[in-house]
DNA sequence: ATGTACTGCAACCATATGGTTGCACCACAT
DNA sequence: ATGTGGTGCAACCATATGGTTGCAGTACAT
């Protein structure tokens, strides 16, 4: 996995409505129509958001009869968190190194 | 910190150019003009991106004479990673619980 | 067989976003 | 005093984004 696959994940997470959807799915799997019942946007808007989330690998869809249920995938989030962590650490290390050098002057 | 402060961070990280800027800053502090030298966009575009990054708490600016240098802040990234991790874990736990219930049937 | 409820597609709209150019301004060095 | 190199602001442009409405298709229950 390169950062190129990481960016869409962040882009997907950079929207309030999408977090509402994820939070709702956190309560249990649901279809776009069902979500439209508890959120202040139309089913079609939700469907678009779900497409973005699925593209980012944050949710997966399961056909149940005539409805399409969505399930949140915590693994992708954890994976992303792990990579963020390591990047953050690198930067912190660099800053610490600079500080050390500055103190040696 | 609530998720409302988290979303802008993700939005900021959801752009390739911004990652290029962060990566460049990872090599050392730099001004918008300096960054414009190594990236394929104008200084003004970079200035806008830096404003977004600063708003998200991912960089800070330091005046050095007549120039404004930017420094990357790894801490915010680590903090974000930690919070992502815990959310991801919650979801994974829920999925695991569902799996267990399904197996008991 | 027919109505109901869900999905899928398309058109459309307003605003946000990423980018540009141009210009004014200010600090520093010569 | 003057030129150079940096910042800041504003206008502008094209496209992406988040949202809507409307309609067609399809599966299920009665």
B39 C-beta less than 7 Å away from strand D: no
The closest of A37, A36, A34, A61 to A46, measured between CA atoms, is A36
Give the pLDDT score at B100: 83
Chain A residues with beta carbon closer than 8 angstroms to that of B3: 19
The shortest CB-CB distance from A77 to any of B76, B87, B93 is to: B87
Q: Compare all CA atoms of chain B with the CA of A14 and give the residue at the minimum distance.
A: B11
pLDDT tens-digit readout, B14-53 = 999 999 999 999 989 999 999 999 999 999 999 999 999 9
The reply to whether residue A12 touches residue B16, judged by beta carbons under 8 angstroms, is no
The model's pLDDT over B47-69, given as tens digits with 9 standing for 90+, comes to 999 999 999 999 999 999 999 99
How long, in residues, is chain B? 105
Burial degree of B21 (CB within 10 A; 0-12, 13-18, 19+): buried
Q: What is the pLDDT of residues B60-99, one digit of tens each?
A: 999 999 999 999 999 999 999 999 999 988 888 877 887 7
B residues 21..40 contacting A (CB < 8 A): 26
Residue A95 Cα, gap to closest chain B Cα (Å)? 8
Domain ranges for chain A: 3-104
CB-defined contacts A:B, below 8 A: 109
Asked if strand D comes closer than 7 Å to A44 Cβ, the answer is: yes
- CA–CA distance, B35 with A12 (Å, rounded to integer): 27
Q: pLDDT for A18-51, tens place per residue? A: 999 999 999 999 999 999 999 999 999 999 999 9
Asked if residue B44 keeps its beta carbon closer than 7 A to nucleic acid strand D, the reply is yes
Predicted local distance difference test score (pLDDT) of residue A2: 47
CB B45 within 8 A of CB B5: no
The CATH class for the domain spanning B3-104 reads mainly alpha
Handedness of CA A82, B22, A5, A60 (dihedral sign): positive
Token representation of residue A68: 């399409």
Chain B closest-CA separation from residue A43 CA (Å): 23
Strands A30-31 and B67-72: unpaired
């Amino acid at each position: 996995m390169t950062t190129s696959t990481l960016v869409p994940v962040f882009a997907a997470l950079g929207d309030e409505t999408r977090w509402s959807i994820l939070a709702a799915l956190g309560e249990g799997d649901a279809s776009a129509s069902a979500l439209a019942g508890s959120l202040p946007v139309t089913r079609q808007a939700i469907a678009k958001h779900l497409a973005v989330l699925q593209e980012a690998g944050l949710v997966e869809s399961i056909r149940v009869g005539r409805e399409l249920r969505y399930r949140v995938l915590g693994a992708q989030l954890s994976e992303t968190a792990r990579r963020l962590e390591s990047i953050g650490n690198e930067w912190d290390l660099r800053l610490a190194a600079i500080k050390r050098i500055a103190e040696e002057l």
